[in-house]
Amino acid sequence: MQSVYEAAGGSEGLLRLAEAWHARVMADEVVSHAFSHGFHPQHSQRLAAYWTEALGGPAAYSGAYGDQTSVVQIHSGNGPHEEMDRRAIECFDQAMQDVGLAAAGPVRQVLHDYFAWATTTEMARYHQSADDVPEGMSIPRWSWNGLQR
């Protein structure tokens, strides 16, 4: 069976999706606030590498950039932000449409479920402080059946 990573177009497909999502969030008045302090010049490439690994592809992120701890720390210590999360998920859904992922196909629903979970659970877990994030976390893997344990 094909992995979610493969069904989403592999590394190239996920890079297109990351670029489309980034363009959407930068145009959103609420979500763009998360980037107001600046962002890595290769944000889309790094995000695509993270998704590659999380969705069943090679260890593109942890092999080059860091582990889950470093990712979660970047997203921590900012207090609750449910409205921003909701809008980021809407931007993701629109980005999937922008890159031509079939609305009726199962990959789009699985990607939506993954992104919504990652946004509202993994990246939102440590509202108080990035110092609360445990060391040595590995990137969670997501498949057609959801989170792999």
Do 84 and 33 form a contact (C-beta atoms < 8 A)? yes
Query: Domain of 53?
Result: 4-147
Helix axes 10-27, 43-54, angle to 10 degrees: 130
Please identify every stretch of the chain with a pLDDT value under 70, giving residue numbers as ranges. 36, 38, 76-77, 79
Token pair of 34 as six digits: 């998360």
Which is nearest to 45 in space by CA: 15, 65, 90, 69?
Answer: 15
Q: Rounded to two decimals, what is the model's pTM? A: 0.90
Neighbours of 105 (CB within 10 A): 11
- Provide the domain count of the chain: 1
CATH number at 35 reads 1.10.490.10
- Of the chain, the end-to-end C-alpha distance in Å amounts to 19
Q: Identify residue 50 by its one-letter amino acid code.
A: Y
Paired tokens of 95:
């980005």
Identify which of 70, 89, 78, 74 has the alpha carbon closest to the alpha carbon of residue 139: 70
pLDDT at 27: 95
